[in-house]
Amino acid sequence: MTAAIVPAAAVPEQRRPRIGVTLDLDEARGRFELPRAYADAVLAAGGLPIGLPPLAGAAGEHFALLDGLVVTGGAFDVPPELYGEARRPGCGPVKPERTAFELALVRLALSERLPLLGVCGGMQLMAVALGGSLYQDLAADAGTGRHEQPPPKDVPSHEVEVTPGTRLAGLLGAGPLLVNSTHHQAVRQPGRGVLVSARAPDGIAEALEVDDHPFALGVQWHPEAVGRHEPRHAALYAGLVAAARLRSPA
């Protein structure tokens, strides 16, 4: 008698880690928005981008779905009241609803050790969440106004120096790195347990990382945009997704 041939069980593919990407809020037009480059960068790195609309009271439920988090930038400022300062001339517009939502997510990611990447304003919010402070306006507070480049915004406009031995250096390499620059605020005091892992030539902090965390990085530039000119930047999203995969069930 011929034995029946039993097909081998299919090996299930590991699902993509779910990476939350915070959306902007355009109150005037009643829309949530996201530059496509963020989603493309997460997808190219092997993650599944999940848009997170800044809805009041929803941060915890959104957080429960995620394996990693990207806090995006935008054309608004972190309210100075969050780091114990009065608003001064030069501080720009704020989006309190979005900031409250993102701050809740950042605090959860830090406390629950969820992989986290803060981009531009997202890096600034990470510092504030950890007790740091910001220059409300670089020209007024730090005597430099060279961090807002004209269009096109994805083209590298200055170098940063990546500190050897840091997590950032492990991803991008130590030493000079070309970045784009679209901010008028910057981190002044980085906060508790935070290492500045890259600086601009004028001394402004350009990258942060949290010491006691599996993966919590912030960069002042936009790696998802500048990556087409300098491919090394893709390693930031690849690093985030790799860390998220360690938390993600098969």
Q: How far is CA 197 from the centre of its chain?
A: 14
Domains of the chain are 18-247 (3.40.50.880)
Which contacts qualify for 87-94: CB closer than 8 Å, 24 or more apart?
A: 87/136, 88/136, 88/137, 88/140, 88/141, 89/137, 89/140, 90/136, 90/137, 90/139, 90/140, 90/141, 90/184, 91/136, 91/137, 91/185, 92/137, 92/184, 92/185
How far is it, in rounded angstroms, from Cα 243 to Cα 215? 7
Residue 111 has pLDDT above 80, yes or no: yes
Query: Does the annotation count 209 as an active-site position?
Result: no
Q: Give pLDDT tens digits for 179-196.
A: 999 999 999 999 999 999
Q: Give pLDDT tens digits for 9-49.
A: 444 468 899 999 999 999 889 999 999 999 999 999 999 99
Question: Looking at the chain, how many residues does it have?
Answer: 250
Contact between 78 and 128 under an 8 Å Cβ cutoff? The reply is yes
Query: From the candidates 147, 183, 222, 233, which is the catalytic residue?
Result: 222
Give mean pLDDT, residues 59-72: 98
Q: How far is CA 186 from the centre of its chain?
A: 14
Query: Does the annotation count 13 as an active-site position?
Result: no
pLDDT in the model for residue 250: 59
Computed over every residue of the chain, the mean pLDDT equals 93
Percent of the chain having pLDDT more than 90?
88
Encoded tokens for 16: 């993509």
Residue 7 has pLDDT above 60, yes or no: no
Q: Which helix (H) or strand (E) holds 48?
A: strand 48-52
Burial (Cβ within 10 Å: 0-12, 13-18, ≥19) of residue 31:
exposed
Query: From the candidates 102, 206, 209, 224, which is the catalytic residue?
Result: 224
pLDDT in the model for residue 8: 44
Task: Tell me if the pTM is above 0.85.
Answer: yes
Residue type, 246: L
Q: Give pLDDT tens digits for 193-249.
A: 999 999 999 999 999 999 999 999 999 999 999 999 999 999 999 999 999 999 866
Query: From the candidates 120, 147, 183, 209, which is the catalytic residue?
Result: 120
Percent of the chain having pLDDT more than 70?
94
Query: Does the annotation count 91 as an active-site position?
Result: no
